Structures are given as structure tokens and as C-alpha cells.
Chain A
């Protein structure tokens, strides 16, 4: 469903990677690995159509993502380095606001349930600036509980989480793959995800790939 061919990324004078290609089908997951600064985040941003590819092509269901535009974004869920939550809002408000902006209905009960699954019960009415780093990450990840879009692109989802939360998030990703979803994620922690076929891609400096 997701095909990437001959992708190249240039930042300033430096070529981060070139000739990157892979293919991902329903129920499969891609682990993106590489040293710091090897271009993992840049590659994810290209997959999300946030930054253009200098060279190469990304296709979704056989069509270039640039051409698909909104139709592609409708099937894409991205979680970046930043948590994309508002410090002034409570976890509950954050969750419901982001659902409304993504044009999805999320009633209060479902949202509360999602927060509870991420271990945030009792914190749902506290402004997010009072939460710890790990709790903020949990708020961001609570979006995934009711996320039914096909392609998940997650940049370091496990950062700042404790082991029980990591397990829970890995479970969410596993359930997503079992439903026939796709996931691309970067991580420095090897976490076993229960279901689906796992592919790996290692980004090596230019010339060594």
C-alpha cells in the first residue's frame, strides 16, 4: 500500500541519505533505525508530505502522495517529536479538540476511556502544563486509542514513557496492525509488538547504504 522508491534527502550541503526504498502492506510495520542525525525524522516528515522529497517518490495505494493531497492526509496519523498538545488545556480537552480538528467525532466517555487506558485517570481535568514529561507524552499517545486511520507515522513514540506505558502503546500498535493498519516508527528502544510483520530499515550515512 505504501511504496517508497529511491528517496533522497539533502539538508544544506549534506546529503543525509539517498536511494532509500521500501514497501509496506496492510498489517505491516516498519522500524526505522539509524544513528542520531541520520535523517530518520526527515524521512518521516517526507512520508507525511510535510517536506518535499528532493528525489524519489512516495506512493500510497499506487498513487503519488503529492497528487492525493487531502485524500492521503485523511488516512494518515502522525505523531512527531513534539506532543502537539496545548499546555493550557486539560488532557480531555486536548483529546477532544484534536479529534474535532481531524473531523472525527469523539464523545466524552470514549475520550475518558482512552485517557484511562494510558494511565491518566484522575488527571483528565488538570491543565497539561502541570503534568510531567511522560504524562504529556501519554496524553499525546491517547489519540491512538481511537485512531482508525490506516497509516500511523510515529516519531520516537516511546520517549519519556515508563515500561508499563511502553507496553500499552506497543499493544495499541499491535492492535492497529491486526486491524490491517500500517505503521512506520523510529525508536531506539527495541520493543516487541505482538502482531504483524515487522520490517526494518537502517539509515546509514551516504555512501555506506
Chain B
């Protein structure tokens, strides 16, 4: 079972490496959206520090959304999704592998990039540290929940917009606890409670989402 998940991850990573433009464009989107805020709002450190957690997290959600439509669409178009559905293992495991691979190429780089961008908002070292942690803990949930939406809108024309409408509301809890963790650090309350809840969301998202996703994929393949 683990072998299958590993095989899927290594396949998807290899494909992502051959198509680096996709990863890089999502990252640049993140960088630009986040950088526009200090320019638009003006150089008031107090205000920027207040805005920072929300802005960084919302930008991370949107950057994750960018790569979601292609999560299954490419495999669907060239017929490999059919082959995956016919593999003698549960389709949910294959989805789990794809979700983890998606996180490695979308969520992980965002989390690693965030502290650098956070400097623009005059965040303290503690806050930057918690920001990175919250993104590391929270972004896998984004990939997991997003996979459900990507599977449900597979093969739908104009599915990209529908996918955002479907998935963004489901991201709200992750956003609240993710941004809340950084906010709590800035105001000196301590981020532990928020991070624990974020961890719970991620565990639930990553390990329960693959099964409804697999069911949606089977319907899309019919």
C-alpha cells in the first residue's frame, strides 16, 4: 500500500519537475499578490502588522487554487486516470498520493517563501516563525479539501470558476485558524491552540478527503 502511494508521489513529482513553469507561476502569483498590499495600503507598520496574517493566508489559498484544476484534469485527458482507476488497489490511496504530491509542489514552497514575504509587513521573528509553521501545518488540508472539488468539477466546462466557488468556502476554517495563529502571536496570546486545531483540520482533510474524491472520480469516469 505504501509502495503505491510512494509510486504515485514520485510519478507526480517527476511530472511536476518536467513542467516547472506551473509551480513557478503559482509561486510568483503568491509573491506578487502579497507584495501589492504594502504598496497599496502605504507604509504604516502598525496597520501592516495587523493585515499581514490575513493577507498572507488569503494569498496562499488563492495560489493553491491556481494549481487545483490540473490536479486530475491532465490525467483525465490522456487516459491515465482510467488506468489508475483500474489499478488493483483502492483509488483512495492513489488520490492520497496525488494530494501529498500536490502539497509538496504547491503548499510546501509557499510555506518556505512566506517568512521572506512577511518581512515586508514588519512581522517579528516570532510571528514569522509561527506563520511558517501555520502554513506548513495548514496547507496539506488545502490540498486535501481541494482534491474533492477538483474531482467534482472534472470534465465540467468552465470548471475553474466553479471549483473556486466550491472549494473556497470550505477553506474558511483553515483560514481562520491559520491567520488566527499568527494574529495571536502578534497580540501576545500564544499560537498553540490555533496550531493544534489547524493540525486536526489537516489530519482530517488529508486522510478523509481521498475517499469522497475517489468516489467523485469514479462518477466522472463513467
- Interface set of A (CB-CB < 8 Å, partner B): 48-52, 70-71, 73-74, 76, 78, 80-89, 93, 97-98, 100-103, 127
Contacts and interface: CB of A to CB of B under 8 A. Distances in A.
Interface residues of B, number: 25
Interface stretch (B6-14, B33-41, B129-137, B151-159): B6-14
A98 B77 CA distance: 16
B19 A76 contact: no
B4 interface: yes
Contact of A83 (B18, B79, B88, B221): B79
Given A51-B222, A74-B88, A100-B7, A86 B82 contact: no
Given A51-B222, A74-B88, A102-B88, A93 B82 contact: no
A103 B87 contact: yes
A70 B89 contact: yes
Residue among B88, B94, B221 with max Cβ neighbours from chain A (10 Å): B88
B85 interface: yes
B78 A81 contact: no
Contacts of B196: none
B80 A84 contact: yes
A73 B79 contact: no
Interface in B129-187: none
B79 A50 contact: no
Given A50-B221, A70-B89, A76-B86, A101 B4 contact: yes
Nearest to A74: B88
The secondary-structure label for the interface of chain A is loop
12 contacts: A73-B86, A78-B82, A80-B82, A83-B79, A86-B80, A88-B18, A100-B7, A101-B4, A101-B7, A101-B8, A101-B11, A102-B87
Contacts of B77: 82
Contacts of A70: 88-90
Contact of A89 (B3, B7, B14, B85): B14
A93 B8 CA distance: 13
B7 A73 contact: no
A88 B3 CA distance: 23
B23 interface: no
Residue among A71, A84, A85 with max Cβ neighbours from chain B (10 Å): A84
A16 to B, nearest CB: 14
B212 to A, nearest CB: 18
Contacts of B7: 97, 100-101
B67 to A, nearest CB: 16
Contacts of A98: 80, 83
A87 B4 CA distance: 22
A74 B87 CA distance: 7
B18 A84 contact: no
B70 to A, nearest CB: 13
A87 B11 contact: no
